[in-house]
Amino acid sequence: MMLFTEVRGLPVVPPGGAGPLGTVTSLTIDVVTGSVSHVWWRGGRFGRQSALPWDAVGAVGPGAVRVRSGDAPASAPPHHELLGRRILTDTGTGRGTVLDVAFDTRSARLLALFTTRGELPADRLLGLGDYALVVRAG
């Protein structure tokens, strides 16, 4: 298990362990599956941002995100930053903001959301957009 805030800033290391490709800036989640779908990183000569699908990640640990495949994805889904996002229930009640997210580094499954109002189980996620993260009330 790791937290999103622990992954942010880790080097992204290519196959063969050559110099890092860049540094992790964020993680994209798929609300339907309740898992991390992409790792976003910034690097290279011009510091451009790139996305890596989770299935191309070999390992995530306290020292680095190791890439299994050197293939660059053709496209990535729209990214909505989860950390700092407002939380609303499906009935419209505010539930604070997201402080951090715990996830399983092997399966990419989200385990829990840590919010300004306590912990929320990841299975309560319903949607994520530009305005808010929507969770099931109750």
Q: Which domain holds residue 125?
A: 86-135
CATH code of 109's domain: 2.30.30.240
Task: Identify the domain boundary among 67, 94, 115.
Answer: 67
- DSSP assignment string, 62-98: SS-EEES--PPPS--------TT-EEEETTS-EEEEE
Task: Identify the domain boundary among 37, 67, 97.
Answer: 67
93 and 52 share a domain? Answer: no
6 and 42 share a domain? Answer: yes
Please report the pLDDT score of residue 138 as a whole number.
Answer: 75
Neighbours of 48 (CB within 10 A): 10
pLDDT tens per residue across span 97-138: 999 999 999 999 999 999 999 999 999 999 999 999 999 997
62 and 91 share a domain? Answer: no
Q: Which has the closest alpha carbon to 97: 106, 88, 109?
A: 88
Task: Using pLDDT thresholds of 50, 70 and 90, give the confidence band for residue 71.
Answer: low
| Tokens standing for residue 34 | 């309740």
Please report the pLDDT score of residue 72 as a whole number.
Answer: 57
| Tokens standing for residue 24 | 């992790």
Task: Using pLDDT thresholds of 50, 70 and 90, give the confidence band for residue 81.
Answer: very high
Contact 39, 24 (CB under 8 A): yes
pLDDT tens per residue across span 16-51: 767 788 999 999 999 999 999 999 999 877 778 889
124: left (phi over 0), alpha (psi -120 to 50) or beta: alpha
75 located within any domain:
no
Mean pLDDT on 59-68: 90
Neighbours of 14 (CB within 10 A): 15
Distance of CA 38 to the CA centre of its chain: 7
pLDDT tens per residue across span 3-14: 999 999 999 998
The tally of domains found in the chain comes to: 2
48 and 16 share a domain? Answer: yes
Please report the pLDDT score of residue 45 as a whole number.
Answer: 72
81 located within any domain:
no
Mean pLDDT on 63-86: 81
52 and 109 share a domain? Answer: no
- The alpha helices in 1-138, defined as continuous H runs, are 4-7
9 and 60 share a domain? Answer: yes
77 located within any domain:
no
Task: Identify the domain boundary among 39, 67, 95.
Answer: 67
42 located within any domain:
yes
Does residue 69 surpass a pLDDT of 80? no
- For the chain, what is the total number of helices (H) and then of strands (E)? 1, 13
10 and 63 share a domain? Answer: yes
